[in-house]
Structure formats: C-alpha cells, structure tokens
Amino acid sequence: MKTKYSLYLFIAALLASCSLDYEPLDTYSDVTEGMQQDSVTVVFKDKAAVVSHRQTLLNLFRNGQEHWYLDMLLLAEAHSDNAYAGAPNNETTPFEVNSIEGSSTTLNRDWNM
C-alpha cells in the first residue's frame, strides 16, 4: 500500500516539475539587449559594454570603501559608549557629543555620494 502511494507521489512530482527556460528575460543576452531593436532603446550595446559598466561600478565602490567604512564607524559607533577613541578634532567632536550640524564636511561628503 505504501509503495502504491509512493509511486503516485513520484509520478505526480515528475508531472509537476518545471522546464528550463533557455532564454530568460531577467538576464543579459542578445534576446533581451542586442538583437531586437524595434522601438526600444538598447541600454547596452553588447556584453563588453555590460562588463565595462560593472567594472566601473566596482572601481567606484573599491575607491570609496575607506570613506564608507570610516564614516560608518564614526556615524554609527561613535554614539555608543567607549566605542570610538579617535583624536579630538573639529570633524569628529560633533559626532562624539551628539551635536551634528549640517556644515560637517564628513556628513556633507556622505550625503553627496
């Protein structure tokens, strides 16, 4: 009896399985970006343009990582008790005493990134 139900369950699972979509619309391919140029503006000309754009974004992230990390440390952890023991200067003191003004160069840099 159990094998009968197991067999029915196995057959139902086989019939309900999905098929592979060989040309998905959510990833870059010639179908989505390259070949069909009816009335839709193509954003990227080819795969090399996509790779170049991705590399540019990664370089921006890598070059800004120092500022992002240090500013996150300053903005998030400097408010907690004994978390930040930096040198007192004009840029970090307002963050340490919770009197952040809009004229702060650190805040201005982060806001405009």
Predicted confidence (pLDDT) per residue in 42-52, tens digit: 677 888 888 89
pTM equals: 0.34
Contact call for residues 83 and 77 (beta carbons, < 8 A): yes
Each domain of the chain, given as residue ranges in start order, spans 25-111
Q: Considering only residues 84 and 76, tell me which one the structure prediction assigns the higher pLDDT.
A: 76
Q: What is the pLDDT of residue 24?
A: 65
CB burial of residue 95 (10 Å; 0-12, 13-18, 19+): buried
Q: What is the pLDDT of residue 80?
A: 64
Closest listed residue to residue 27, CA positions, set 57, 47, 48: 47
| Both tokens assigned to 61 | 């992230």
